[in-house]
Amino acid sequence: MLVTLDTPYADTTAAELSFALGLPEQPALHVVDLTAATGVALRLRLLGASHQVVLDAPGRKVVETVACLPGRPGDLPSIIDDSAGYRFTAQVLRLDPAAMTERVSRLRRDFAADPYALVGVFPGSADAVTALQAGPAAGPGQLVVGWRTWHFYPETAELVETETEVVL
């Protein structure tokens, strides 16, 4: 789903992003609710300050927030892999303007009609985009829920990509 937002984004560089698990749900600009037959619910939440994903499953709740949050310094980790079956990775890429525009255009095109994706376009630049996509993750004999996110910062020519897998 592609949405055009009428609010400026609050985070403007990758260095401002912080990571948190277990925060309360933050005010969202747009939400996509997904529910599986297994009783697993996933909410993709687009914030003015980036993203939040809420996973509700029998016996487990995960609230992942990657955003510019008041009072929290930027501290985006490159990897978290805990013993409870939560794995998060992040990378920051520097792109030249043409490469950024091409990546944003492809992402907007590929996810515009995807019911498992949410793409928010912020005002000021067609490349100022935050996108989330949920999908099945690999896990032989296990129920694994996963999602990916993309945070484009045209002013600093940065792209932050994250990927999360949760074993249930």
The pLDDT of residue 71 is 86
Assess whether pLDDT exceeds 90 at residue 147: yes
92: tokens are: 């920051």
Q: Indicate the SS3 state at residue 73.
A: coil
What is the structure's pLDDT at 56? 95
- What residues contact residue 99 under an 8 Å CB cut-off, 6+ apart? none
Please write down the long-range contacts of 135-138, taking CB distance under 8 Å and 24 or more positions apart: 137/165
pLDDT tier for residue 138 given thresholds of 50, 70 and 90: low
Domain of residue 53 covers 2-167
Structurally, how many domains does the chain consist of? 1
For residue 37, pLDDT over 90 is answered with no
Please state the φ and ψ torsions of residue 151, each to the nearest 5 degrees: -125, 110
| Cα 84 to chain centroid, rounded | 21
Number of neighbouring beta carbons within 10 Å of residue 3: 13
Residue 11 has pLDDT above 80, yes or no: no
Name the average pLDDT for the chain.
Answer: 91
The pLDDT of residue 144: 86
8 A C-beta contact, residue 79 and residue 40: no
pLDDT on residue 10? 67
- Are residues 152 and 104 in contact, defined by beta-carbon separation less than 8 angstroms? yes
Which pLDDT score, from 0 to 100, does residue 137 have? 62
Tell me the β-bridge partners of 128.
none
Q: What is residue 141's predicted lDDT score, i.e. its pLDDT?
A: 64
| pLDDT, average across residues 76-98 | 96
What pLDDT does residue 139 have?
A: 58
